[in-house]
Amino acid sequence: MPFSSLAPPLDVELRPDRPALLRVDRPGDAPSWAAEYREALRAQVTEHGALVVRGLGLRDADQVGAVFARLAGALMTEREAFAPRDAHGPGLYSSTSWPANQPMCMHHELSYTLEVPGLMLFACLTAPEQGGATAVADAEQVLRALPAGLTQRFEREGWLLTRTYNDEIGASLAESFGTDDRAEIERYCRAHAIDFTWQADGSLHTEQRRSAVVRHPLTGRPCWFNQIAFLNEWTLAPEVREYLVDEYGADGLPFNTRYGDGTPIGEDVVQLLNTTYETHTRREPWQAGDLLLVDNIRTAHSREPFTGERQVLVGMGEPRRLPDHCPTPEASER
């Protein structure tokens, strides 16, 4: 029997410094509930940027995969990953492998790819003892809060992501591109506006230029949409940065970001970006069984340090190819 498209309205709690929260009582029947309320949930995510759903009782990967499928349809296969994940089904992944004591600062998932997820889906199977929230920040507010001169430069030039793949740090070639065949990797890079160079030692160095400010495809409003701070060397813990520079050299870091014209970004700018994010951060501690939906273009997300076991599954849906996402040098010079 088909579900009614006229599902009852959702009673969403709006609280200062926390994402919107919806409490439900639907243990054991989460996929059916998600199918019935899909449109209402998506409307809430569009309005608020992110929504925590509590009370679904999510408990295993199969159930989570079914809920994600009801909400987003076919999930995206991750490409150009910067760190490994474990796969739990088609498009269903573990959270990124990252030291528990190190934060993952605010970012928009895969903002450096040409086809980006419009919707991020998170499900908590095991909540950490302390910390570990997947916090969110409104990209429209962040853009308005940053100095106009800085955002205008990034809007004019875009930003540059540089990567050097090695066998020790970050995702391997196979994990990032889905293959370790050189010809296939080169074809992928050419098709996705990525400049590449094979180094003498066989490692791959890439550069890709992307927009730092984009217009939301539904609202048309400008958003600060990038991973400039997250993937920059100055966001790393000082001892980690020092080790990587000593090991690989300043130009051989596993990943780094620059202004669109290739100029290095200063530590003061990265600190300003992260401070501005923190000012606009909303966080809700995970509880086992929680679902979190995030508009990936309107809303940045982070992962805070934690203790204890933490199991959060991730899906990426609603792929979008943004028309203003790949600036050209000619455009920035006009």
Higher pLDDT, 79 or 27: 79
Q: Residue 234: what pLDDT?
A: 95
Q: Given pLDDT bands bounded at 50, 70 and 90, which one contains residue 96? A: confident
**Distance (Å, rounded) from C-alpha 216 to C-alpha 125?**
31
Which pLDDT belongs to residue 334? 40
Answer whether 20-140+282-318 and 146-212+225-275+326-333 agree in fold.
Answer: yes
> What pLDDT is attached to residue 251?
86
Q: How buried is residue 295: exposed, middle or buried, by Cβ count under 10 Å (0-12/13-18/19+)?
A: buried
CA 73, 55, 139, 82 torsion: positive or negative?
A: negative
Contacts of 325 by beta carbon, 8 Å cutoff, 6+ apart = 114, 116, 210, 211, 214
Residues 203, 213 contacting (CB under 8 angstroms): no
Structure tokens at 297: 């273009």
Checking if the pLDDT of 119 tops 70, the result is yes
Q: What per-residue confidence (pLDDT) applies to 332? A: 43
Domain ranges of the chain: 20-140+282-318, 146-212+225-275+326-333
Of the candidates 152, 294, 293, the residue with the CA atom closest to the CA atom of residue 213? 152
Q: What class, spelled out in words, does domain 146-212+225-275+326-333 have in CATH? A: alpha beta
Judged against a pLDDT cut of 70, whether residue 324 lies above it is answered with: no
Query: Of the spans 170-174, 176-180, 237-241, which averages the highest pLDDT?
Result: 176-180
Note the pLDDT of residue 328: 58
pLDDT for res 168: 79
Domain 20-140+282-318 is found in CATH 1.10.10.10: no
Mean pLDDT for 134-154 is 98
- Rounded to the nearest integer, the mean pLDDT of the chain is 92
